[in-house]
Amino acid sequence: YEGQVVGENTRADDMVVNLTKTKKLTNMRSAGADDKARIAPARKFSLEEALEYIQEDEYVEATPSSLRLRKTLLKEHERKRAKNAALSDVKF
């Protein structure tokens, strides 16, 4: 669902992805390049590990059957608006 944390980014900022859309294969030369990509297996967190792992703008959803990491503001445009408002409040 929108706002759910589904992976790690090597950069400091967040990467917004849509898991329901497939990647477009327009360039025939690079179409098979992703077939050999290795994806690390998903991490299984305990509740304590999940609480240590999250960022300031994230929550841990705990249900009896699973733990989910999600953003506090689920919509991307709300997160951008909050980030811009926080930047405009900073005085130099």
Q: What is the mean pLDDT of each run of 10 residues along the chain (92 residues)?
A: 84 82 69 64 90 92 93 91 86 63
pLDDT for residue 92: 60
Beta pairing partners, 4: 70
Within 8 A by CB and 6+ apart from 45, the residues are: 53, 67
Per-residue model confidence (pLDDT) at position 33: 58
Q: Please give the pLDDT value at position 52.
A: 94
pLDDT of residue 64: 94
The whole model's pTM is what? 0.69
- The most distant pair of C-alpha atoms in the chain lies apart, rounded to whole Å, by 50
